[in-house]
Amino acid sequence: MSSESMIAAIYVFALAAFLGYQVISRVPPLLHTPLMSATNAISGISLVGSIVIAGGTGPHHSKVAMVLGFIAVVCSTTNVVGGFVITDRMLRMFKRKK
């Protein structure tokens, strides 16, 4: 990877992190449950991508890529499962007690 493309990638990452923080911090508490569900969907997409990287074979897939892909699978799975647990718990708070 050339230094110009690396600088561009770091710039995009920093901009996305800043923008994501600003968007999430300004969400009212009433919208946290739908936002959590959308975040779970995005984490599911990253889970699929990390499974592809972790299970990839071929001349351009190194051991480092497979290890990092496995770590990404574990992190994405934890994020998806934790998000669904939190979303379910928040939704149970709004159910009427019988």
**pLDDT digits 0-9 by tens, 23-81:** 777 777 766 666 666 777 778 888 888 888 888 776 667 788 888 888 989 988 888 88
Q: Is the dihedral of CA 23, 24, 26, 27 positive or negative?
A: positive
Cβ atoms of residues 44 and 80 within 8 Å: yes
Q: Nearest 5 degrees, angle CA 64-CA 21-CA 26?
A: 155
Q: Which residue has the tokens 């569900």?
A: 37
Cβ atoms of residues 73 and 23 within 8 Å: no
Q: Distance (Å, rounded) from C-alpha 6 to C-alpha 26?
A: 30
Which one has a higher pLDDT value, 61 or 82?
A: 82
